[in-house]
Amino acid sequence: MAGEDSLFDLTSAHLNTGLRGIPVGTCRTSYVTPLEGVHYCGYPISELASLAPEDVIYLLHNKELPNLDQSLEFRNDLRSRGTLPSGIEEIFATLPKEGHPMDWLSIGIHALGMLGGVDDWREDALNLTAQMPRLMGLIFRYREGRVDDIPEDDLKLSLVGRFTNTLALDGVEHAVMNRILSTYLVLHMDHGGGNLSTFAGKAVASGKATIYSSMAGAMNALSGPLHGRANQSCFEFVKRIGTSDPAEIERFVRGELEARRPIFGFGHAGLRAEDPRATAQFALGEEICPDDEYFKTIRVLREVAPRVLAENPKISNPNANVDIASGTLLNFVGLSDPEYYTTFFGWARVAGIGAQIIDERCVMRSGKGVPLYRPKYIAEQQELRHL
Complex with ligand NMX: residue 127 or 321, whichever CB lies closer: 321
The binder of 315, among ligand MLT, ligand NMX, none, by C-beta within 5 to 8 A per type, is ligand NMX
Cβ pair 168, 195 in contact under 8 A:
no
Cβ pair 205, 344 in contact under 8 A:
no
Which of 141, 191, 229, 361 is the binder for ligand MLT (CB under 6 A)?
Answer: 191
Annotated catalytic residue within 227, 245, 292, 337: 227
User: Whole-angstrom Cα distance, residue 101 to residue 344?
Assistant: 10
- Is there binding between residue 269 and ligand MLT (CB under 6 A)? yes
Residues 6 or more apart in contact with residue 306 via CB below 8 angstroms: 266, 274, 318, 319, 320
- Is there binding between residue 316 and ligand NMX (CB under 6 A)? yes
- Is there binding between residue 276 and ligand NMX (CB under 6 A)? no
If you write DSSP's letter for every residue of 94-137 in order, what string do you get? HS-TTS-HHHHHHHHHHHHHHHH--S-HHHHHHHHHHHHHHHHH
| Window of 80-88, 214-222, 241-249, 318-326 that interacts with ligand NMX by CB under 6 A | 318-326
227 catalytic per annotation: yes
Residues 6 or more apart in contact with residue 238 via CB below 8 angstroms: 264, 265, 294, 297, 298, 301, 327, 328
Binding residues for ligand MLT, total number by CB under 6 A: 4
Q: How far is the CB of 316 from ligand NMX (least distance, A)?
A: 4
- Angle, helix 341-358 to helix 101-116, in steps of 10 degrees: 40
The binder of 267, among ligand NMX, ligand MLT, none, by C-beta within 5 to 8 A per type, is ligand NMX
340 φ, ψ (degrees, to nearest 5): -85, -10
Q: Which amino acid is at 213?
A: S
Annotated catalytic residue within 39, 61, 188, 268: 268
Annotated catalytic residue within 124, 190, 275, 323: 323
**Cα separations in angstroms, 334 against 128, 164, 178, 252, 362:** 26, 11, 12, 27, 41
Which of 161, 267, 338, 354 is the binder for ligand NMX (CB under 6 A)?
Answer: 267
b vs e for 280-315, b when ≥16 Cβ sit within 10 Å of the residue's Cβ? bbbebbeebbeebebbbbbbbbbebbbebbeeeeee
Residue window 272-311: x/- pattern of binding to ligand MLT, with contact defined by CB under 6 A: ----------------------------------------
Q: How far is the CB of 233 from ligand NMX (least distance, A)?
A: 7
Cβ pair 346, 232 in contact under 8 A:
no
Within 316-335, the residues that bind ligand MLT by CB under 6 A are 322
User: Whole-angstrom Cα distance, residue 42 to residue 54?
Assistant: 18
323 catalytic per annotation: yes
124 catalytic per annotation: no
Question: Which of 56, 46, 55 has the alpha carbon at shortest distance from 277?
Answer: 46
- Is there binding between residue 266 and ligand NMX (CB under 6 A)? yes
Q: How far is the CB of 235 from ligand NMX (least distance, A)?
A: 11
The binder of 357, among ligand NMX, ligand MLT, none, by C-beta within 5 to 8 A per type, is none
- Is there binding between residue 195 and ligand MLT (CB under 6 A)? yes
Residues that are catalytic: 227, 268, 323
Binding residues for ligand MLT, rule: CB under 6 A, are 191, 195, 269, 322
Binding residues for ligand NMX, rule: CB under 6 A, are 226, 230, 234, 262-269, 309, 314-317, 321-323
